[in-house]
Amino acid sequence: MRIRSVLSHSVQAIAEGALISLLVVGLIAGTALAAKGGAAGKGAGGGASSLSVVLVADANGNGLPNWGDQLTFNVSTTATDRPTVRLHCYQNGILVYTFSAGFFTGYPWTTVYGLSSQSWTAGAADCTASLIYTKSGGRVVTLKTLEFQAGA
């Protein structure tokens, strides 16, 4: 009876050790992929990338993007092929705003996005920012996407 108890405990300890080993290997592999950019942050020739919203003018002072506010993006990428942020905003599935700006040295135009348009005259919208670049031949590569809601 004691032998059965010792064997049962040993098998459980081995199984627990195997599970912990698998978790550790998974964490190490996940960390290594994240450090290399992983699937979500890497495009062909794009390397690791990050994208976040930065408010330039916050009309109501709530710290969140809203209709009528102005924003730009904090962009970090190892892509060298003229990275650009393309922003699309939708109300009830209808495109009401689109704007693109380059985030590379020498880009001559504004990188400030004014959250309004002739089609977007008021109200909240669902927005998607895409960090992209265009390869020779015209193929657009998406490095990173960021979804957010612009309030009313």
Query: How much is the pTM?
Result: 0.68
Q: Report pLDDT for 100.
A: 98
Q: Compute the distance between CA of residue 59 and CA of residue 66 in angstroms, rounded to an integer.
A: 8
CATH 2.60.40 fits 49-150, yes or no: yes
Q: Which amino acid is at 19?
A: L
- Identify which of 102, 105, 109, 111 has the alpha carbon closest to the alpha carbon of residue 133: 102
- pLDDT tens string, the chain, 152 residues long: the values are 556 554 455 545 444 543 334 333 333 333 333 333 333 333 334 458 999 999 999 999 999 999 999 999 999 998 888 999 999 999 999 999 999 999 999 999 999 999 999 999 999 999 999 999 998 888 999 999 999 999 99
